[in-house]
Amino acid sequence: MRINNKYGEGLLNVSGASLRKEEIVSKPVVSLDHVVIRFAGDSGDGMQLTGDRFTMDTASLGNDISTLPNFPAEIRAPQGTVPGVSSFQLHFADHHIQTPGDAPDILVAMNPAALKANIKDMARGATIIVDKDEFTERNIVKAGYQVNPLEDNSLESYKVHAVALTSLTVAALAQISMSRKDAERSKNMFALGLLAWMYHRPTEATENFLKAKFGKKPEILAANLLAYQTGWNYGETTEDFAVSYEIAPAHMPAGKYRNISGNTALAYGLVAASQLSKLKLFLGSYPITPATDILHELSKHKKFGVITFQAEDEIAAVGSALGASYGGSLGVTSTSGPGVALKSEMIGLAVMLELPLIIIDVQRGGPSTGLPTKTEQSDLLQVMYGRNGESPAVVLAPSTPTDCFKMALEATRIATQYRVPVFILSDGYIANGSQPWKIPAISELPDLQVKFAQTQEDFLPYLRDPETLARPWAIPGTKGIEHRIGGLEKADRTGAISYDSQNHDYMVRMRAAKVAGIDVPDLEVDDPTGDAQTLLLGWGSTFGPIASAIETLRANGEKVAQAHIRYLNPFPKNLADVLKKYPTVLVPEMNLGQLSNMLRSQYMKDVTGYNKVFGVPFTTLEIIEATMAVLYV
Amino acid sequence: MSDISLTKKDFTSDQEVKWCPGCGDYSILSTVQSFLPELGIPRENIVFISGIGCSSRFPYYLETFGMHSIHGRAPAIASGLAISRPDLAVFVITGDGDALSIGGNHLIHALRRNVELKILLFNNRIYGLTKGQYSPTSETGKITKSTPTGSLDTPFNPISLALGAEASFVARSIDSDRKHLTEILRAASVHKGSALIEIYQNCPIFNDGAFDLLKDGGTKGAALLQLRHGEVIKSDSHGLIREDGSFKLVELTSVAESELIVHDAHNPDPAYAFALSRISGSALDHVPVGIFRDVERPSYGSMVNSQIAEVIANQGVGDLDSLLNSGDTWEVN
């Protein structure tokens, strides 16, 4: 039977196989409600691409999804070693899910190092697919094994499929004139094809993706398609895989969806904010993991008039953004923790100038260079207090990848209305993780239009709006309001340099009062029975594991309330009451207790911290255990 | 713009000028205030951005838009403004410490990009605002409060540095020579892209008389080598000739005028201007003043904005709804 009818006549003939999914009748099909898959391989093996493709094919089936890429800081760490392992985890289900999953049900390990690096996360009974061709003596030693783990019974408690991924791929590609090395590069597509068969994923989107990606390189395209199809056929025809699985679509609110990562959602949110505010978007940025994708994404959107400026350093990145903001643009800078440290003085200037500025901090493990590709929430106190003088700034924290879009709009609203620097605290987990996003209608989005100061007699650049306490946004080019601003203390109303002690005290308090008075929504508390005694209070990317833990806890009859703080400065007005209501407040954070510190100092509430800095998100189980510990002390 | 008839007074703000008596900044301020009406640009479209240091107080005294920012960062802030607002004329006021020490990185990158900035670098070879420490342009062996036994650092030559940073317009002038400084400002203002103007500026408190050789009637004629495009390069006593592939300073009496080098500010080879910049050392006995280099190169902001215009011309103006709905999407009913 000819299988490759879409991309060329008779490329390959394999008897008894077909790509048409409606013909899949030959093996039993098992229904599952959710699956967690982890693809793992060398950082050059294309695991992120493989994971991305499986995600897209899964999303289009209507499953709910949550993803977690995990890669080393080195672009190509030594091949075949544990530090060089890159992985991509995907959780998909027929119901709403909150996390990428604690333990994978399936691990695809492209080499011994990938097995070694990931086996500790696998629950007993899980399925492991390995490329047995890669389990050579040399590779086994490189990965740090004494003996071949496929032969020493150490994997007895798992379902292991040792597939000759490399040689099957090479054999299938024999008819294409390419080197063995080049042919081997398509083995990730073999794995993807096999998984696509196993979980009944549609193949058209990936085939179209490959055509678009390699359209100009016909041999590479043919190799990838062939490897993909061969992988699919392998599942269908060999006895190694007895069953395949189906996961029904999740019940999600009606609408149009796409999959989106936190970094992309931030970028889209900023483009939307620029359109809604009618302000030119100016991004000043210096490449830094894990924030760089925001620069990449926004640099694609010139037709929206977006200016992206790759500056010479972090300071110039924020400086140029502030300069653009002074000129009436929406000035944004994107970075990670070390970049925020460098930008601090300029952000202080923005506080003094009282100009809008958005600073995106995609947090990573610290201090110093720390763990560039791993996630952490340890910049909260830095963005709150990491500047000289009394230097208040607004701090927002999106809770999920899709929430990043909303928070970009909120950051714009607050920055432009109150003329103040606003931090968006994302982190590596939500920046790179993705989930389905119900695409909003433009008509549902807020009006963010701004007012600039107009030509007037006796203009006072530091005369405040009585409601917002903001000074005018007075941009160059406006006749008659020429004025000078700067980092020296300003006299109230006139903005002239002032060393007057009373004025300084007044202005310091005024800047603090302006930020404290910013209008932010109340904290929503989820407490279905209304009589829970314990509150799980999180911020940022811990939302998923906390929500997931709460579901399980409640299903087991535990009474626990949940609230998630998205506005960290100023805090929601009702936070004090919420803290009072619950005798026990558990605050899980991927740091050593930074929000806990803020809550204790501002509200005199002795919250209980659950703190861990492992560079990976909390698992649901960890949150459940931490909650049980406070419920049954 | 022809209906604008502004005067020096229109560019003078109501702020009391607070430099030390005798500071070279006064005459630079006065020259700039006198020059600005000539630009024919409305005041509201002119912006002065400075860093930190004595010279950086400059914007407060001009009745234009202005920002006194933070140490060394004025070129970065000004770049963001100039790129996003091509309708504005943006000036940067900086000093030898601000531009060449703490802000060295921003200066060289603004110049390399050719951002539309006119950068006035007041070089007094000393830190004034912090009360007298040596600066990156101080001569080696400088005795200051922080170097009581003499500074060890080799100084920067700001002109050489700017040329090394691919600057398209580089000039030098002197605080007290209003006519010369005005000429340079005029040329810089019509230049497309970055212009760096080094202005020797006297600090009467911490480095008084640093440039007396170039100002004293008895010495300046011999010390100042005038750079004027199309004219021979000479002072009252010396001229430049080519010898062994380089430049040599010779007494005018020893050569015929026809052997002297005729200045070519538009020479595309930066090595020419660089060689000129190396004639003067810290000693200041022979110092070229004028425009070292003035070449045409696309300016950064114009390129940024034409890239955007080109994308819009090819693809149309972006539509938010299409953007949000792009990529792989699916419907849930």
DSSP A297-330: HHTT-GGGT-EEEE-SSHHHHHHHHHHHHHTTSE
> Above 70 in pLDDT, residue A8?
no
User: Tokens representing B294?
Assistant: 């003035």
Confidence of residue B155 (pLDDT cuts 50, 70, 90): very high
Chain B residues touching A440 at Cβ < 8 A: 324
Using the predicted structure, report yes or no on whether residue B153 has a pLDDT greater than 60: yes
From B78, B318, B327, residue closest to A304, measured CB to CB = B318
Residues 6+ apart with CB under 8 A from A556: none
Q: Give the model's confidence band at B283: pLDDT under 50 very low, under 70 low, under 90 confident, else very high.
A: confident
Q: Mutate which of B330, B331, B333 to disrupt the A interface (most A C-beta within 10 Å)?
A: B330
**CA nearest to B41 within chain A:** A477
Query: Cα separation of B197 and B120, whole Å?
Result: 5
CB B198 within 8 A of CB B261: no
* pLDDT of amino acid B4: 63
Q: Which of B85, B109, B314 to mutate to test the interface with A (most CBs of A within 10 A)?
A: B85
The per-residue pLDDT for range A142-168, each reduced to its tens digit, is: 999 999 999 999 999 999 999 999 999
The reply to whether A497 touches chain B by the CB within 8 Å rule is yes
Number of CB pairs < 8 Å for A and B?
205
pLDDT at B222: 95
Interchain contact B106–A (C-beta under 8 A): yes
β-strand pairing of A244-247 with A534-539: unpaired
Q: How distant is the Cα of A563 from the closest Cα of chain B, in angstroms? A: 28
pLDDT of residue B3: 52
- pLDDT, residue A429, reads 95
Name the residue among B68, B70, B307 with its Cβ closest to that of A302.
Answer: B307
A residues 585-614 closer than 8 Å to B (CB):
none
Do residue A439 and residue B318 have CB atoms under 8 angstroms apart? no
A502: Cβ–Cβ under 8 A, 6 or more apart, which residues?
none
| Paired tokens of A405 | 């879009």
Whether chain A has a CB inside 8 Å of the CB on B109: the answer is yes
Which residue among A272, A442, A485 places its CB closest to the CB of B67?
A485
Contact present, A570 and A520 (Cβ < 8 Å): yes
Structure tokens at A239: 């006895």
Q: How many CB atoms lie within 10 A of CB A251?
A: 12
Nearest to B73, CA basis, from B48, B108, B109, B98: B98
CATH number of the structural domain B8-216: 3.40.50.970
| A275–chain B Cβ distance below 8 A for any pair | yes
Report whether the peptide linkage leading into residue A570 is cis, meaning its omega lies within 30 degrees of zero.
yes
Subunit contact B67:A249, Cβ cutoff 8 A: no
Residue A66 buriedness (CB in 10 A; 0-12 / 13-18 / 19+): buried
CB A339 within 8 A of CB A289: no
User: From start to end of A508-603, where are the E strands?
Assistant: 525-526, 534-539, 561-565, 567-569, 584-589
Helix (H) or strand (E) holding A138: helix A137-142
The C-alpha of A405 sits at a distance from chain B's nearest C-alpha, in angstroms, of 11
Among B residues 312-331, those touching chain A with beta carbons less than 8 Å apart: 312, 315-318, 320-321, 323-331
Instruction: Report chain A residues whose CB lies below 8 A from the CB of B15.
Output: 484, 496-497
Of A272, A307, A329, the CB nearest to B304: A307
Examine the pLDDT at B12 and tell me if it is beyond 60: yes
Under 8 Å between Cβ of B130 and B205: no
Q: Does residue B141 belong to the interface with chain A, where contact is any CB pair within 8 Å? A: no
Contact B85 A327 (CB under 8 A): yes
Residue A201: predicted pLDDT: 92
Put simply, the answer to whether B330 touches A349 (Cβ < 8 Å) is no
Long-range contacts (CB closer than 8 Å, 24 or more residues apart) made by A73-79: A73/A289, A73/A371, A73/A372, A73/A373, A74/A43, A75/A43, A76/A43, A76/A44, A77/A43, A78/A142, A79/A42, A79/A44
Q: Is the pLDDT of residue A13 over 50?
A: no
Of B60, B67, B85, the CB nearest to A497: B60
Which is higher by pLDDT, A429 or A15? A429
| Averaged pLDDT of chain A | 93
Per-residue model confidence (pLDDT) at position A43: 83
DSSP state of B43: G
Q: Taking residues A190-207, what's their average pLDDT? A: 94
CB–CB contact B312 A302 (8 Å): yes
Give residue limits of the domains in chain B.
8-216
| Mean of pLDDT values over A401-405 | 98
A305 contacts B312? CB cut-off 8 A? yes
Encode pLDDT of B251-276 as tens digits. Answer: 999 999 999 999 999 999 999 999 99
Structure token digits, residue B61: 């005294």
Amino acid A74: pLDDT: 79
Separation between Cα atoms, residue A304 and residue B323, nearest integer Å: 10
What is the arithmetic mean of pLDDT over B39-44?
A: 97
B85 contacts A476? CB cut-off 8 A: yes
Give yes or no for residue A525 having a pLDDT over 70. Answer: yes
Please, which residues 299-328 of chain A have a Cβ atom closer than 8 Å to chain B? 301-307, 309, 311-313, 315-316, 319-328
Question: Is A200 in CB contact (< 8 Å) with chain B?
Answer: no
A298 and chain B: CB distance < 8 Å anywhere? no
Q: Which of residues 397-456 of A touch B (CB under 8 A)?
A: 439-440, 442
Chain A: give the shortest CA distance to residue B16, in Å. 11
Question: What is the pLDDT, as a whole number, of residue A170?
Answer: 95
CB contact under 8 A, A254 and B65: no
A22-36, A493-507, A582-596, B57-71: segment of lowest average pLDDT = A22-36
Distance from CA of B300 to the nearest CA of A (A): 11
* Partner residue facing B329 (CB), from A256, A324, A331: A256
pLDDT tens, B93-137?
A: 999 999 999 999 999 999 999 999 999 999 999 999 999 999 999
A257 touches chain B (CB under 8 A): yes
Question: What value does the mean pLDDT take over residues B285-301?
Answer: 97
Q: Is the ipTM reported for this complex over the cut 0.90?
A: yes
* Nearest CA-CA distance, residue B256 and chain A, Å: 49
- In this prediction, what percent of chain A has a pLDDT beyond 70? 96
Alpha-carbon distance of B313 to B19, in angstroms, equals 51
Q: Of chain B residues 9-38, which have a CB less than 8 A from chain A?
A: 13, 15
Interface test with A, best of B16, B67, B92 (most A CBs within 10 A): B67
> Domains in chain A and their CATH numbers?
26-247 (3.40.920.10), 258-444 (3.40.50.970), 525-631 (3.40.50.920)
Phi, psi of A547 (to 5 degrees): -65, -40
pLDDT exceeds 80 at position A475: yes
Name the residue of chain A whose CA is nearest to B325's CA. A439
List all residues of chain B from 274 to 313 with a beta carbon under 8 Å from chain A: 304, 307-308, 311-312
Of B60, B68, B76, the CB nearest to A316: B76
Q: In this complex, which of B73, B320, B323 lies closest to A315 when CB atoms are compared?
A: B73
Which is more confident, A606 or A7? Answer: A606
Least confident of A20-24, A93-97, A533-537, B36-40: A20-24
Give pLDDT, residue A239: 86
Q: Taking CB atoms and an 8 Å limit, are A349 and B69 in contact across chains?
A: yes
Q: Residues A588-604, buried b or exposed e (16+ Cβ, 10 A)?
A: bbbbebbbbbbbeeebe
Q: Do B312 and A483 touch (CB under 8 A)?
A: no
Q: Residue B68 and residue A486: Cβ atoms within 8 Å?
A: yes
Interface of B with A in 75-104 (CB under 8 A): 75-85, 87-88
User: Could you give the CA distance from residue A169 to residue A230 in angstroms, rounded to a whole number?
Assistant: 7
pLDDT band for A7, please (50, 70, 90 cuts). Answer: very low
User: What angle do helix axes B74-84 and B300-315 make, rounded to 10 degrees?
Assistant: 30
Burial category of B133 from C-beta neighbours within 10 Å (exposed 0-12, middle 13-18, buried 19 and up): middle
Is pLDDT of A476 > 80?
yes
* Mean predicted confidence (pLDDT) in B56-68: 97
CA distance B250 to chain A (A): 42
pLDDT band (50, 70, 90) for residue A60: confident
Residue B206 confidence (pLDDT): 97
| Distance in Å, alpha carbon of A253 to nearest chain B alpha carbon | 7
A442 contacts B320? CB cut-off 8 A: yes
Sign of the CA dihedral running B3, B4, B7, B13: positive
